[in-house]
Chains A and B, each alone.
Chain A
Amino acid sequence: MFLEALEKVLADHATSAAIRAVEAGGPPDALWQPIEQAGFLDLLLPEAQGGAALPLADLFPILECLGRHAMPLPVGQSIVARALLGDGAALPPGLVTIGLQLQRLAGGALRCPQVPGGGLAGHVLVADGESLLLLDAAQARRVPVGDPRNQTADLEWSATPPVMQLSTGGQHLAPFAAAVMAAQLSGAMQRCFDMALDQCNTRVQFGKSIGKFQALQQQLSMMAEHVLAAAIAAEAAFRADGAVPSALAAAVAKSRTSEAVVLVAATAHAVHGAIGMTDEYDLGLVTRRLHDWRLAYGAEHVWNLRIGHQLLDSPQSLADFVQAV
């Protein structure tokens, strides 16, 4: 039900022109407001607070859908932030993103490096140990990181009191952020795959569609394998009993989806040839998002290290260890 509704909103409003306008630094309102007004940001909140009390597992297809549409705004983070803060009504309006690293500098200054969506979000939710802090991003100096179209930024405050503060929930922020990105990556990789398959079926060379050539068939098969592995890994992060993803499943999800980006993006571009290298064609928009989200909240090496240390610290066999995912 929610998925169909979101699909319709995004089909109407998340056009590539609208996405490119946001990437170019234009106001996000035209893209953001229909999503906010339809109530998608409160999906996880209890019904008493005007939410939809959506189970965690049902959030997964919503996030995949955002990924398929190459959503340039931190919509997934906003949904999660509102749920973690527990009372969406008390939240200031507007975009909320998530930052995983909080640096305390001399003189009370604060710094959040490499915040996805940090270039345009109104607020950023960060963990400070067990605590959660909501900081006013409008007060921060924003320094774009990487391609400015991705809207990832370092945020720096000379000194800022948190807009909201919770003494618990900090430990859930990283798994949630990783799971959100994994789901969006899965959706974006499916979009990439569909574009590559379509190109194989429609582009004609040597008198036949290029998908008839065995070399490309083998590449598309491998691409399908990695897209599917990514989808299953991402979905597994959303089947926890409780309201938050399990830390191990989220780590596996972010690792596996991020790793899949390499082959998926490369194959999509190989299949498309020169047209995929143009600014005008949408493939670049999607693969740019893939690389951006691969890095967001840590690429695969970052998560592999955590998984590896957890395994090496554990007395369990690997076979038993992976059953928890």
Chain B
Amino acid sequence: MSSLLSQLRLAALPPAAMALRAEIKAFLAEALDPAPPHVRARSWMGFDAAFSRRLAARGWVGVTLPAAYGGANIDAFSRYVLVEELLAAGAPVSAHWIADRQSGPLILKFGTEAQKAFYLPRICRAEAFFCIGMSEPGAGSDLASVGTRARPNDGGWLLNGQKIWTTNAHHCQYMIALVRSSGEKEDRQAGLSQFIIDLSLPGVTVRPIRDLSGDAHFSEVFFDNVQLAPDALVGQEGSGWAQVNAELAFERSGPERIYSSIVLLELWIRMLRESAEGRSHAATVGRLAAHLATLRNMSITVTARLARGESPVVEAALIKDLGTEFEQSIPQCIEATLGAGSGSDTEAELYRTLAYVSLLAPSYSLRGGTREILRGMIARGLGLR
């Protein structure tokens, strides 16, 4: 048995994490404004700063950060339950999403004490929203070819270049960007660093890009002689690649790689329960439930390894590939049954929700690493390359 596969044995959520679920449900029942499914379907693409602040006031933003910085200091399992409930409810979590999942933990792990003291409390109060500057026009899957450059100068670093497809850049105060700080393009992963960029600085231009569903969730960001202070660098100069990779297991194995179409699926199930012919789709629904239950157990299993301080990057890639395939199959399965209905109100809302999810679904296997890149990583984990 390949060691990659034999290392993943089933894990369960501990009782403390399970106990949190009722609290979260009660909070959401009160704090979440009622919204129709086609709005809630945006889920972790749905931006609502006011909701993020309500969540922060309850102590649930920056949840894994230490209490000294304003965090809830809960473990990875409890965060799992929190995220699962937020996604299942279709809560608009996009404003604080990246800061909670990645930027906060990154600053905690690699930042200076001064950086931690400045950024982490602001993250926990939902006052500082973060985006991730990775892709560039010439650097997508081949991320090591980024050309945006930070050159050391008397004031710190002078930043020039361009990022693109940056989710929420037009809503965020800060970007953590992967840029070249030393060496040349041929040096590939060497000479890359991560910088925290205040997006209000002179020389930063953010232009939202309208997506195919009509939303504007991502942006292009231009840096024209942006003067960064010395402490904009986070972690070690030249260690950006390793730092980015340390985040990947967190980014790829969570519930957000399984639940992206859940609001649509729940709505369809509601419709099937209401209609006389609903039972004819029992096998399809049962199959989706079997897949969801299994993916969820896989995701919890990887969470257990993260909680032990491991970095199961290949296993996370495996779950993301399988999870996004499942998420994408949901609008496909539902579309396959429609077009000759009764025209009920529920059905009309299903059409609206489906229209959005069908258009967004291709992005599931693009964002956070494409399907082909992930499968290459898995093959490497299997020893094939």
Contact = CB atoms under 8 A, between A and B. Distances in A.
B307 to A, nearest CB: 17
A322 interface: yes
Interface in B282-305: 282-298, 301
Interface stretch (A79-87, A135-143, A159-167, A296-304): A296-304
Contacts of A212: 384-385
Interface of A: 190, 193-194, 197, 200-201, 211-212, 214, 216-218, 220-222, 224-229, 231-233, 235-236, 239, 249, 251-252, 255-256, 259, 300-301, 303-312, 317-323, 325
A219 to B, nearest CB: 9
B379 interface: yes
Given A222-B375, A231-B8, A308-B282, 7 more contacts: A193-B2, A228-B8, A308-B287, A312-B279, A318-B289, A322-B293, A322-B296
A24 B350 CA distance: 55
Contact of B289 (A217, A224, A236, A307): A307
B187 interface: no
Question: Which has the most chain B C-beta neighbours within 10 Å: A200, A228, A259?
Answer: A228
A235 B298 CA distance: 11
A304 B293 contact: no
Given A218-B372, A232-B294, A303-B290, A311 B88 contact: no
Given A211-B384, A224-B5, A236 B293 contact: yes
B382 to A, nearest CB: 6
Interface stretch (B115-123, B239-247, B264-272): B264-272
A228 B7 CA distance: 10
A225 B322 contact: yes
A308 B88 contact: no
Interface of B: 1-2, 4-5, 8-10, 12, 84, 88, 259, 262, 265-266, 269, 272-273, 278-279, 281-298, 301, 318, 321-322, 372, 374-376, 378-379, 382-385
Contacts of A235: 9-10
Q: Lowest 8 A-B CB distances belong to which pairs?
A: A308-B286, A308-B282, A307-B286, A217-B379, A304-B286, A325-B293, A319-B88, A221-B378
A321 B289 contact: yes
B322 A305 contact: no
B383 A201 contact: yes
Question: Which has the most chain B C-beta neighbours within 10 Å: A221, A227, A229?
Answer: A221
B293 A311 contact: no
Contact of B290 (A226, A228, A256): A256
A217 B384 contact: yes
Contacts of B8: 228, 231-232
B286 A255 contact: yes
Nearest to A222: B375
Contact of B279 (A233, A249, A309): A309
A225 B287 CA distance: 17
Nearest to A210: B384
Contacts of B284: 304, 308
A251 B286 CA distance: 10
Contact of A304 (B4, B272, B283, B318): B283
A319 B265 CA distance: 10
A308 B286 CA distance: 4
Contacts of B301: 232
Given A217-B379, A239-B10, A229 B295 contact: yes
Contact of A255 (B84, B282, B287, B378): B287
Given A229-B294, A309-B279, A312-B273, A220 B84 contact: no
A83 B321 CA distance: 40
A310 B282 CA distance: 9
Given A218-B372, A225-B378, A228-B5, A318 B283 contact: no
A252 B293 contact: yes
Given A190-B1, A225-B378, A322-B292, A303 B10 contact: no
Given A197-B2, A212-B385, A318 B294 contact: no
Contact of A305 (B84, B286, B291): B286
B298 A232 contact: yes
Contacts of B295: 229
Nearest to B1: A190
Given A224-B382, A325-B293, A318 B269 contact: yes
Contacts of A221: 318, 321, 374-376, 378-379, 382
A194 B2 contact: yes
A222 B376 CA distance: 10
Contacts of B289: 252, 307-308, 311, 318, 321-322
A212 B385 CA distance: 6
A301 B318 CA distance: 25
A251 B290 contact: yes
Contacts of A300: 287, 290
12 contacts: A200-B384, A214-B376, A221-B378, A224-B382, A232-B298, A255-B290, A300-B287, A304-B290, A311-B285, A312-B272, A317-B266, A318-B288
Contacts of A307: 285-287, 289-290
A220 B289 CA distance: 25
A229 B298 contact: yes
Nearest to B5: A228
Contacts of B283: 301, 304-305, 308
